[in-house]
Amino acid sequence: MYKRPLSLLTLALVVCTTNMAALCCREETDLPPANFDTLAQQQGYWEWQSSATEGPLVSPATVGYTRQLVFGTNGQLSIRHNSQPFSEVPYQVSTGTLPRCGAPQQPVPLVTFKAELANNDRKAYSLSTDATGTHLMLSGEDACVDGGYTETYLWKAE
The string of pLDDT tens digits covering residues 44-68 is: 999 999 998 777 889 999 999 999 9
The string of pLDDT tens digits covering residues 83-94 is: 999 999 999 999
Write the CB contacts of 47 (distance below 8 Å, at least 6 apart in sequence).
66, 67, 68, 153, 154, 155, 156
Single-letter amino acid code for the residue at 135 = H
Whether the CB-CB separation of 57 and 63 falls below 8 Å is answered with: no
Taking domain 38-157, whether its CATH number is 2.40.50 is answered by no
Report the sign of the C-alpha dihedral through residues 125, 119, 87, 137, in that order: positive
DSSP string for 77-106? EEEEETTEEEEEEEEEEEEE--GGG-SS--
Query: Does the pLDDT of residue 131 top 90, yes or no?
Result: yes
* Burial tier of 30 (Cβ tally within 10 Å: 0-12, 13-18, 19+): exposed
Q: How far apart are CA 45 and CA 30, in angstroms?
A: 23
Single-letter amino acid code for the residue at 5 = P
Name the band, by pLDDT with cuts 50, 70 and 90, for residue 30.
Answer: low
Query: Does the pLDDT of residue 147 top 70, yes or no?
Result: no
**Residue 49 phi/psi, 5° resolution?**
-105, -50
0.85 surpassed by pTM: no
Write the CB contacts of 12 (distance below 8 Å, at least 6 apart in sequence).
none
Report the sign of the C-alpha dihedral through residues 141, 58, 31, 25, in that order: positive
- Per-residue pLDDT, 90: 95
